[in-house]
């Protein structure tokens, strides 16, 4: 209950009495209490839900971090396995082919001394073996690009282009306007593998006849471009191409680079990878 008093005045304004009014404010108090309780409950639920969302977000970030770590490990294992296969290919098959080539040369000389017509056949077989040796060396060096350590990324890309031309009988051209030293070995390796994957897609899926590799340094940025004149990147890539695309994206992500794959107007595909230039590059 709430009491309100109002003065009763005469004609001259003098107070001659009081009027008392009693107002029942119980319902208003109850409504205010109910509103206050609802507000407190809502705030409590909001805090609880916020905490749940924060925990879920932290768990999601943790899962993403673990997934990226696992993906990085898988790529590292893949790289090590490729390097191992390249070394075995170089030390095994290449050496065997080289030994066979020497034996074929000796046989050719013996046949020539005896003036036998089979000497020309032996010479043709020797040429085939030489071509097989070149291809085997190219495959071995592609799997294990030792020049990344010895002479740098540009030299490794030039060798990759030469091996692609020899193995697939197409044009693979390099365009390096200025030297771009990439001293970070991990960064150089991922760029090399991205270029290698782009070339493989151009050859196997794009049916390209000409491939161009470009490496240049822009303002605080290194840009790698691989362009081909093939049939273009399929809208629904085959499983193999899809895995190659995923590998390129994963490698770009691991070095903080952007990857853009788009069709070329006159036909073919352009793969562009851009990453922030390392501190030592920006000094040049």
The answer to whether position 281 is within a domain reads: yes
Burial of 266 (0-12, 13-18, 19+ CB in 10 A): exposed
The answer to whether position 180 is within a domain reads: yes
Question: 79: which 2 tokens?
Answer: 């790289």
pLDDT per residue of the chain (284 residues) written in tens, 0 to 9: 556 667 777 777 787 777 666 666 677 777 888 888 888 889 899 898 988 888 888 888 888 777 777 777 777 777 777 777 766 776 677 777 778 877 888 888 888 887 777 888 888 888 888 878 777 766 766 666 655 555 688 988 998 898 888 878 899 999 998 888 888 888 888 999 899 889 988 988 888 999 999 999 888 889 999 999 988 765 555 544 456 788 889 889 888 999 999 998 888 999 999 998 766 554 44
pTM metric for this prediction: 0.59
Is the Cβ–Cβ distance between 101 and 126 less than 8 Å? yes
The domain boundary residue, chosen from 43, 58, 73: 58
Q: Which domain holds residue 241?
A: 169-284
The answer to whether position 182 is within a domain reads: yes
CA terminus-to-terminus distance, the chain: 86
Q: CB within 8 A of 132, min separation 6: which ones?
A: 97
Question: 111: which 2 tokens?
Answer: 């046949």
Residue 284 pLDDT = 47
**For the chain, how many structural domains are there in total?**
2
The answer to whether position 91 is within a domain reads: no
The answer to whether position 112 is within a domain reads: no
The answer to whether position 148 is within a domain reads: no
The answer to whether position 161 is within a domain reads: no
The answer to whether position 98 is within a domain reads: no
DSSP string covering the chain, please?
Answer: -EEEEEEEE-TTS-EEEEEEEEE--HHHHHHHHHHHHHHHHHHHHHHHHHHHHHHHHHHHHHHHHHHHHHHHHHHHHHHHHHHHHHHHIIIIIIHHHHHHHHHHHHHHHHHHHTT-THHHHHHHHHHHHHHHHHHHHHHHHHHS-THHHHT-HHHHHHHHHHHHHHHHSSEEEEE-SS------HHHHHHHHHHHHHHHHHHHHTS--SEEEEEEEEETTEEEEEEEE-SS---SS--HHHHHHHHHHHHHHHHTT-EEEEEE-TTSSEEEEEEEEPPHHHHT-
The domain boundary residue, chosen from 10, 32, 58: 58
Which of 189, 185, 142 is closest to 167 using CA atoms?
142
The domain boundary residue, chosen from 28, 43, 58: 58
Q: How do strand 171-175 and strand 210-218 relate by DSSP bridges?
A: parallel
Q: CB within 8 A of 22, min separation 6: which ones?
A: 1, 2, 3, 4
Please state the three-class secondary structure of 135-182 as a single string.
HHHHHHHHHCCCHHHHCCHHHHHHHHHHHHHHHHCCEEEEECCCCCCC
Residue 260 pLDDT = 94
**Torsion-angle region of 207 (φ positive above 0: left; ψ -120 to 50: alpha; else: beta):** left
Which long-range contacts (C-beta less than 8 Å, at least 24 apart) are formed by 98-106? 98/133, 100/129, 101/126, 101/129, 101/130, 101/133, 104/129
Find tokens 């040049």 and name the residue: 284
The CATH number assigned to the domain holding 204 equals 3.30.565.10
């Amino acid at each position: 209950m709430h009491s309100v008093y109002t003065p009763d005045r005469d004609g001259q304004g003098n107070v001659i009495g009081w009027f008392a009014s009693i107002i029942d404010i119980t319902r208003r108090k109850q409504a205010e209490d109910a509103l206050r309780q609802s507000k407190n409950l809502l705030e409590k639920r909001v805090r609880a839900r916020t905490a749940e969302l924060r925990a879920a977000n932290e768990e999601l970030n943790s899962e993403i971090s673990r997934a990226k770590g696992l993906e990085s490990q898988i790529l590292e294992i893949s790289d090590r396995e490729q390097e191992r296969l390249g070394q075995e290919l170089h030390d095994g098959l290449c050496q065997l082919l080289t030994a066979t080539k020497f034996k074929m040369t000796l046989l050719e000389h013996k046949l020539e001394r005896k003036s036998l017509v089979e000497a020309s056949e032996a010479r043709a077989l020797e040429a085939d073996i030489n071509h097989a040796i070149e291809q085997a060396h190219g495959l071995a060096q592609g799997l294990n690009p030792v020049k990344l350590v010895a002479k740098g990324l540009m030299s490794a890309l030039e060798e990759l282009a030469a091996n692609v031309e020899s193995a697939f009988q197409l044009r693979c051209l390099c365009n390096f306007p200025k030297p771009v030293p990439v001293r970070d070995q991990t960064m150089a390796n991922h760029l090399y593998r991205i270029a290698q994957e782009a070339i493989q897609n151009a050859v196997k899926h794009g049916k390209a006849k000409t491939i161009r590799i470009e490496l240049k340094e822009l303002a605080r940025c290194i840009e790698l471009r691989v362009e081909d004149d093939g049939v273009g990147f399929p809208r629904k890539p085959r499983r193999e191409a899809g895995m190659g695309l995923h590998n390129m994206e994963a490698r770009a992500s691991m070095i903080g680079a952007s990857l853009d794959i788009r069709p070329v107007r006159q036909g073919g595909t352009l793969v562009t990878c851009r990453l922030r230039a390392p501190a030592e590059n920006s000094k040049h």
